[in-house]
Amino acid sequence: MSELVMGLDTFGEVPVDDSGAPVTQAAAIRQVVEEAVIADETGVDVIALGEHHRSEYAISSPETVLAGIATRTNRIKLASAVTVLSSDDPVRVFQRFATVDALSGGRAQAILGRGSFTESFPLFGYDLADYDVLFEEKLDLFVKLLDEKPVTWNGTTRPALADADVFPKTDSGRLDTWVGVGGSPQSVVRTAQYGLPLMLAIIGGDPARFAPYVDLYHRAAEQLGTQAQLIGMHSHGFIADTDQEALELYYAPAKAARDKIGADRGWPPMTRAQFDSEVKSGSLYVGSPETVARRIAGAVKSLGVDRFDLTYTGGALPAQARSRTVELYGTKVVPMVRDLLEG
């Protein structure tokens, strides 16, 4: 197994300033850029930005922010997490990522998915009744675009293409592209069918329960005659100098964020006991660098994945605390995890 890839994810949550007041969404975007610079300087492999269209999140166009990050960084991979392909146009998504790839010297990475929210569908004129076919057809077209040759394609969700050439081309000849999956076996099989890397969103419960999806991906690739690619996982977490500090800083913002989403979806409020259980043995990686590194290493071993991304901005956290999390992740957690896996 090659060296574990270790990334950081953010949805661009609006942080709070020193007085506890939310900053502007413009300031939140600039904060993400600064965090990406810290990640680049401290050895993190990937920075991945989510797409949302809600008031608590500042990033609705990950590629635009990634382009800004490209001009401030040197080595870190620049990814989305995820690009909601269902409510976008595959041609334009490819063009935007190919542009980021050019600006960054080949560091762009598209992670495509359905997204965990549905606000983009009415915003851009799509019917939720077409939820499945939108993603299936658009992913099919996007995969064809990856060959960077003239494309002929016909479907029901956008106008047909006849020998259409799409620009710009990438220097490498193929854009690095993954598929993000939240727990649907059909989505895992589809990813294997296209021979694309798989990113598992593991946001609750024992991560080991996703082992059947890892096995399914490999079995599907073998049966479909494709080549299995890298498998990654991403989960929420937060790091401070001590366990106590991390728990005290993270709990209230994380609960508020989760309860707001839960109110929309009919979930009961999160209790402290549930939070503590997730921190102890679930998919929430909160604590000191040593604590978080041990838990990440355990999850990676149990699933046999090639990549781990920590979603480090869960709720309206203080901006300084977010920057400190990024610093601790790069300088301490990343090398600790690799040492634990090699030991």
Residues of the chain with pLDDT > 70: what percent? 100
The answer on pLDDT for 10 being more than 60 is yes
Q: Is 20 left (phi over 0), alpha (psi -120 to 50) or beta?
A: left
Per-residue pLDDT of 294-316, as tens digits, reads 999 999 999 999 999 999 999 99
Mean pLDDT (whole number) for 8-29: 97
Residue 116: band (very low, low, confident or very high) from pLDDT cuts 50, 70, 90: confident
Please tell me the number of Cα atoms within 13 Å of 205 on its side-chain side. 8
Query: CA-CA distance, 304 to 2, in Å (whole number)?
Result: 11
The answer on pLDDT for 343 being more than 90 is no
Tally of domains within the chain: 1
Residue 115: band (very low, low, confident or very high) from pLDDT cuts 50, 70, 90: confident
Q: What is the CATH number of the domain that holds 282?
A: 3.20.20.30
Mean pLDDT (whole number) for 80-99: 98
Domain that holds residue 213: 5-342
Per-residue pLDDT of 205-243, as tens digits, reads 999 999 999 999 999 999 999 999 999 999 999 999 999
Mean pLDDT of the chain: 97
Four-CA torsion 103, 143, 113, 192, nearest 10 degrees = -120
Four-CA torsion 187, 192, 193, 194, nearest 10 degrees = 100
- Choose among 108, 53, 50, 43: nearest CA to 77: 108
Please report which residue ranges of the chain form alpha helices under DSSP H.
Answer: 25-42, 62-70, 90-104, 120-123, 131-145, 185-193, 211-224, 243-265, 272-281, 289-303, 319-328, 334-342
The answer on pLDDT for 45 being more than 80 is yes
Question: What single letter denotes the amino acid at residue 136?
Answer: E
- Return the pLDDT at 301: 97
Residue 312 DSSP SS3: coil
The answer on pLDDT for 1 being more than 60 is no
- Is the distance from CB of 11 to CB of 57 less than 8 angstroms? yes
Per-residue pLDDT of 141-191, as tens digits, reads 999 999 999 999 999 999 999 999 999 999 999 999 999 999 899 999 999
Q: For strand 161-164 and strand 151-153, is the pairing parallel, antiparallel, or unpaired?
A: antiparallel
The answer on pLDDT for 130 being more than 60 is yes
Cα 319 to the center of its chain, rounded Å:
20
